[in-house]
Structure 1
Amino acid sequence: MLVAERVSMWRGRYRMVADGREIATWDPSWWRTGGDFEVDGHRFGVRANGWGTKYRMLDEAGNEVALVERAGRKHWSVRADGRTYEFRRASMWGNQQEMLLDGVTVGSMRRTSGWTGAIEADLPGMPLPLQIFVVGAQIARWQAEQSAASAGA
């Protein structure tokens, strides 16, 4: 299980912990929706399109290694290494996302605290960098939604 814990209320940084060991830090971008992280000595960038419906995971050379499509929709997907991972929002009002395999729930991701912003992700069969990307893209979406809500208030 991957757990994302907010490091600072002001900056939006998260530390990623797997099996009780810190493995990466999600560092949000200041100027665009997305962020950066490093895992196992490899640095990755995450960038969103203008509408925040697609997130690209880029390697150090700027090559796309994964893509989230239809982010924020009831059904969305992640493509990487010739594989597609399907997700769906469990409820219109909740914040749990379910990972599906042939239409059956096999994993999940959810915000465990609205106050601290902590997130738990159980994404079996998905490589660790890809798990961090999926959680990071979800963090970026939630932060963009919060910014839009506070700007509209």
Structure 2
Amino acid sequence: MLIADRRGFFRRSYEVRDDTGAAAPVELVLSTWGRTGEFVLDGVVHEIRMRRRFLMGYDGVLVAGGRELAHAQGVGTTEWELQVDDRHHRFVRPHLFGRTQHVVESGEVVGVVRRVALVSGAEADLPDLALPVQLFVVGALLLVWEEESS
């Protein structure tokens, strides 16, 4: 499980770590003035770019080395989709005003991302996704949640 903790009250950066301690923490930095973010993993800069769709949530893309690694449509709505290569992952928010997102495949919950209210962070259990894509999902949701609460 990934745990993202905000690093300071006025900063928009998060320390993201694996709760097993198997991997070194990663700094996820969200832009103050835009819907973007970035993190460095294995020396490669990964960019998160989000764009608001009128009343339809946000679309996002994860780019590393000029290559698109993942694409999300409708982030922040009750149901949205993540595409990685040829695989599609469906995210569902089970409660209308909730901050928990479930990854659902064939009617079964196979992953979850939730907002941790007390520390303005997030927790993610997304075992079927590669680490850069997990960080993208967490970063995209944090960007949406921060914009919705401001």
Q: Does 1:100 align with 2:112?
A: no
User: How far 1:134 moved relative to its partner?
Assistant: 0.2
Return the letter of the residue paired with 2:41. V
Query: Superposition pairs for residues 49-68 of structure 1, below 5 Å?
Result: 49-51=51-53, 53-61=58-66, 63-68=67-72
Query: Superposition pairs for residues 16-31 of structure 1, below 5 Å?
Result: 16-18=16-18, 19-20=20-21, 21-31=23-33
2-structure distance, mates of 1:28, 1:45: 10
State which of 79, 87, 90 in structure 2 corresponds to 1:75.
Answer: 79
Partner secondary structure for residue 138 of structure 1 = helix
Where in structure 1 are there 5+ consecutive unaligned residues? 148-153
Q: Is the 8 A contact 1:99 1:107 kept in 2?
A: yes
User: How far 1:90 moved relative to its partner?
Assistant: 1.7
Aligned length: 145
Q: Does 1:118 align with 2:138?
A: no
The sequence identity of aligned pairs, in percent, is 32
Partner secondary structure for residue 134 of structure 1 = helix
Partner secondary structure for residue 49 of structure 1 = strand
> Which has more strand, going by share of residues?
2
Q: Does 1:141 align with 2:150?
A: no
Superposition TM-score, scaled by structure 2 size: 0.90
Partner secondary structure for residue 80 of structure 2 = strand
Give the CA RMSD over aligned residues: 1.4
Where in structure 2 are there 5+ consecutive unaligned residues? none
1-structure distance, mates of 2:9, 2:118: 9
Superposition TM-score, scaled by structure 1 size: 0.88
Q: Does 1:109 align with 2:109?
A: no
Q: Is the 8 A contact 2:36 2:49 kept in 1?
A: yes
User: How far 1:111 moved relative to its partner?
Assistant: 1.2
